[in-house]
């Protein structure tokens, strides 16, 4: 049993191992600074590594993310703590931050695991796979997903039957049920907050019937259905295995609506819905895809052309806000909406509805700063002290912010902001 | 490699109790898995046909069957003339 926390020192502490945190860590490391990257999940890569493709280029998301994550993992100046909780950060002086970190046990000796997955085969337990958004099962001992980094098994101890089958079959003998949480004290000169965002929970809008109607899914679930590492062998309804052929997207599901508790635009739901519609047209050429939207916000480079491409492919765009989704006996859905073009209330039937969910803040980082207050804006995103001239600065000197922690952003903007945060951090370190 | 491994799970068993929920889920999964594999043993079936044969809801059948495909017990067969529903079959090189 560990008696004393382990003390470690770094130049920079990066909180969050998504694409923005990873990029910021890499920039610092490439400039010779020693960085520790803290990630609460089992793998680096954040939400981006779970996506099918990216807009507007339709590049494979995993193909972009995996080399980047691999570079971060192999960099000699970067130390990575996954499955770790940062419980507090105290600023004790100029360029002096002290963070307390707990590393949760994986019950697997990471250095010895070869990712052979024999443990998974032997495990008799099945639970919902959170990395596939509960569409399929996983074992109690599992590799989070095929391109996880680190690609190391972990045991979900809450669901483990303690049968020991994994331990019996593991060739290098790396299963270790005696592992316990390990406490660390991290000393760093600067910190970058890259804690990302949360997806809007559509159960907050009962009229969309998410969680009630069997064939209403979220856009993230559709991402998984479209990804090469998809949960099913093709795109199917999870309620009955039907190949859908009349699919509706409800844009701004949990965005731009005070009544839903989220007045802001997600900045991504138009474009990812258009992307998914194009991918669906490729996967299901006979399918009828309709997007119900308020406005199409195609603001980035190549985005409007991407929208026009979808129109050209036959994706149907209906300007109108969906008021209610009801389920029919056969599992199909009736959408009641206001058609802005005609000014009439209409209904249409679809066999699968995708809610293009919005972006909500992750307000967790505010609670971990103990000696100084990391201020949030009115929407609970991390407040930028100088949003125009130094957008990476927070209300604590020496603490910078990257990615969607400050508000909704697409991937290129997240990467750009990570560049800004790492540059500001380097300037601060050189002062 | 040594044939005698120290089973660390035995050490944890002394201090940690497996919950009744975990035990019940395991029991139920084994029962459902047996039921699905037996039904598939009688021939290829769609989700609806499997659901009827096992008495489970189509949603639960879908979740379990897709998991069994992932773990190598079953595979997809052919799609019907309307391109709507696939059949599923046992995988011949069953490992588990």
Measured CA to CA in angstroms, residue A203 lies from A211, A240, A254 at distances of 7, 22, 10
Sequence length of chain A is 431
Confidence at A3, pLDDT banded by 50, 70, 90: confident
Chain B CA closest to residue A127 = B25
* Chain A positions in Cβ-Cβ contact with residue B60 (cut-off 8 Å): none
Interval A22-58: pLDDT, tens = 999 999 999 999 999 999 999 999 999 999 999 999 9
Give the per-residue pLDDT at A2: 73
User: Is B94 part of the contact surface with chain A (CB cutoff 8 Å)?
Assistant: no
* Chain A positions in Cβ-Cβ contact with residue B28 (cut-off 8 Å): none
pTM for the structure as a whole: 0.94
C-alpha distance from A242 to closest chain B C-alpha (Å): 5
* Chain A positions in Cβ-Cβ contact with residue B5 (cut-off 8 Å): 167-168, 173
Q: Are B29 and B15 in contact (CB under 8 A)?
A: no
What per-residue string of b and e applies to A193-216 under the rule 16 or more CB within 10 Å gives b?
Answer: bbbbbbbbebeebeebbbeebbbb
Give the per-residue pLDDT at B93: 62
Interval A119-161: pLDDT, tens = 999 999 999 999 999 999 999 999 999 999 999 999 999 999 9
Residue with tokens 């293009």: A356
Are B67 and A232 a contacting pair at CB < 8 A?
A: no
B29: pLDDT strictly greater than 90: yes
Topology at the third CATH level for domain A6-104+181-196+362-430? FAD/NAD(P)-binding domain (3.50.50)
Is the dihedral angle over the CA atoms B1, B5, B6, B12 positive or is it negative?
positive
Interface test with B, best of A217, A237, A241, A245 (most B CBs within 10 A): A241
Name A375's Cβ contacts closer than 8 Å, sequence gap at least 6.
A366, A382, A383, A394, A395
Give the HSE-up count for residue A80: Cα atoms under 13 Å, Cβ half-sphere: 27
Sequence length of chain B is 96
% pLDDT > 70, chain A: 100
Chain A CA closest to residue B32 = A126
* Chain B positions in Cβ-Cβ contact with residue A286 (cut-off 8 Å): 83
Among the partner-chain residues A121, A158, A238, the one whose CB lies closest to the CB of B96 is A121
Instruction: Provide CATH 3.50.50.60 ranges for chain A.
Output: 6-104+181-196+362-430, 200-359
Are A241 and B63 a contacting pair at CB < 8 A?
A: no
On average, the pLDDT of chain B sits at 92
% pLDDT > 90, chain B: 89
Interval A262-310: pLDDT, tens = 999 999 999 999 999 999 999 999 999 999 999 999 999 999 999 999 9
* Chain B positions in Cβ-Cβ contact with residue A231 (cut-off 8 Å): 66, 70
Are A239 and B59 a contacting pair at CB < 8 A?
A: yes
Interval A213-259: pLDDT, tens = 999 999 999 999 999 999 999 999 999 999 999 999 999 999 999 88
Chain B CA closest to residue A213 = B59
For chain B, domains (ranges, CATH) are 19-90 (1.10.10.10)
Give the per-residue pLDDT at B40: 98
Are B86 and A233 a contacting pair at CB < 8 A?
A: yes
**Among residues 10-29 of chain B, which lie with CB inside 8 Å of chain A?**
10-13, 16, 18-19, 22-23, 25-26, 29
A89: pLDDT strictly greater than 50: yes
Are A177 and B11 a contacting pair at CB < 8 A?
A: yes
Give the per-residue pLDDT at A183: 98
Tell me the average pLDDT across A365-369.
92
Confidence at B3, pLDDT banded by 50, 70, 90: very low
C-alpha distance from B13 to closest chain A C-alpha (Å): 7
CA A326 to chain centre: 29
Are B23 and A243 a contacting pair at CB < 8 A?
A: no
Long-range CB contacts for residues B45-54, cutoff 8 Å, separation at least 24:
B45/B87, B45/B88, B46/A241, B46/B80, B46/B85, B46/B86, B46/B87, B46/B88, B47/A240, B47/A241, B47/B85, B47/B88, B48/A240, B48/A241, B48/B85, B50/B88
Interval A9-31: pLDDT, tens = 999 999 999 999 999 999 999 99
Closest CA relative to residue A133, chosen from A402, A408, A325, A357:
A357
Are A164 and B7 a contacting pair at CB < 8 A?
A: yes
User: Is B5 part of the contact surface with chain A (CB cutoff 8 Å)?
Assistant: yes
ipTM for the assembly: 0.91
Tell me the average pLDDT across B5-17.
90
User: Is A159 part of the contact surface with chain B (CB cutoff 8 Å)?
Assistant: yes
A1: pLDDT strictly greater than 90: no
User: Is B37 part of the contact surface with chain A (CB cutoff 8 Å)?
Assistant: no
C-alpha distance from A108 to closest chain B C-alpha (Å): 11
User: Is B34 part of the contact surface with chain A (CB cutoff 8 Å)?
Assistant: no
Q: Are A20 and A415 in contact (CB under 8 A)?
A: yes
On average, the pLDDT of chain A sits at 96
The DSSP call for residue B36 is H
CATH code reported for the domain at A200-359: 3.50.50.60
Give the per-residue pLDDT at B79: 96
Give the per-residue pLDDT at A261: 87
């Amino acid at each position: 049993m560990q008696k004393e926390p382990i003390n470690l020192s770094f130049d920079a502490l990066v909180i969050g191992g998504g694409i923005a945190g990873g990029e910021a860590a890499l920039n610092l490391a490439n400039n010779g600074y020693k960085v520790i990257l803290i990630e609460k999940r089992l793998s680096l890569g954040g939400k981006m590594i779970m996506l099918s493709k990216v807009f507007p280029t339709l590049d494979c998301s995993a193909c972009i993310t995996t080399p980047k994550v691999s570079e971060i993992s192999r960099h000699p100046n970067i130390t990575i703590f996954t499955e770790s909780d940062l419980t507090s950060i105290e600023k004790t002086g100029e360029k002096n931050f002290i963070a307390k970190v707990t590393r949760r046990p994986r019950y697997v000796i990471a250095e010895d695991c070869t990712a052979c997955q024999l443990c998974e085969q032997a495990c008799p337990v099945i639970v919902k796979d959170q990395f596939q958004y509960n569409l399929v099962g996983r074992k109690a001992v599992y590799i989070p997903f095929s391109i996880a980094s680190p690609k190391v098994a972990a045991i979900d101890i809450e669901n483990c039957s303690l049968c020991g089958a994994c331990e019996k079959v593991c060739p290098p003998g790396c299963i270790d049920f005696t592992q316990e949480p390990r406490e660390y004290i991290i000393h760093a000169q600067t910190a970058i907050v890259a804690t990302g965002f949360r997806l809007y929970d559509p159960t907050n809008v009962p009229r969309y019937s998410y969680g009630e109607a069997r064939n209403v899914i979220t856009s993230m679930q559709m991402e998984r259905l479209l990804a090469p590492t998809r949960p099913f062998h093709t795109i199917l309804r999870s309620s009955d295995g039907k190949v859908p052929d009349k699919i509706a997207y409800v844009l701004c599901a949990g965005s731009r609506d005070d009544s839903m508790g989220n007045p802001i635009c997600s900045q991504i739901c138009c474009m990812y819905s258009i992307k998914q519609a194009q991918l669906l047209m490729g996967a299901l050429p006979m399918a009828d895809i309709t997007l119900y939207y308020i406005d199409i916000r195609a603001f980035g480079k190549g985005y409007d052309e991407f929208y026009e491409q979808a129109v050209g492919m036959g994706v149907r765009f209906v300007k109108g806000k969906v008021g209610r989704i009801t389920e029919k006996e056969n599992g199909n859905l009736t959408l009641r909406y206001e058609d802005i073009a005609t000014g009439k209330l209409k209904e249409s039937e679809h066999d699968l509805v995708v809610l293009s969910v919005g972006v909500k803040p992750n307000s967790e980082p505010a609670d971990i700063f103990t000696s100084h207050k990391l201020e949030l804006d009115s929407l609970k995103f991390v407040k930028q002290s100088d949003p125009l001239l130094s957008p990476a600065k927070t209300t604590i000197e020496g603490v910078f912010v990257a990615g969607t922690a400050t508000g909704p952003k697409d991937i290129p903007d997240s990467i750009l902001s990570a560049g800004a945060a790492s540059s500001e951090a380097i300037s601060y370190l050189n002062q | 490699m040594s044939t005698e491994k120290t089973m660390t799970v035995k050490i944890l068993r002394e201090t940690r109790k497996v919950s009744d929920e975990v035990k019940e889920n395991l029991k139920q999964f084994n029962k459902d898995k047996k039921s699905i594999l037996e039904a598939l043993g009688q021939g290829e079936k769609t989700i609806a046909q499997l659901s009827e044969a096992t008495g489970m809801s189509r949603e639960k059948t879908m979740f379990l069957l897709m998991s069994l495909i992932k773990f190598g017990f079953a595979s997809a067969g052919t799609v019907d003339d309307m391109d709507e529903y696939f059949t599923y079959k046992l995988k011949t090189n069953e490992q588990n």
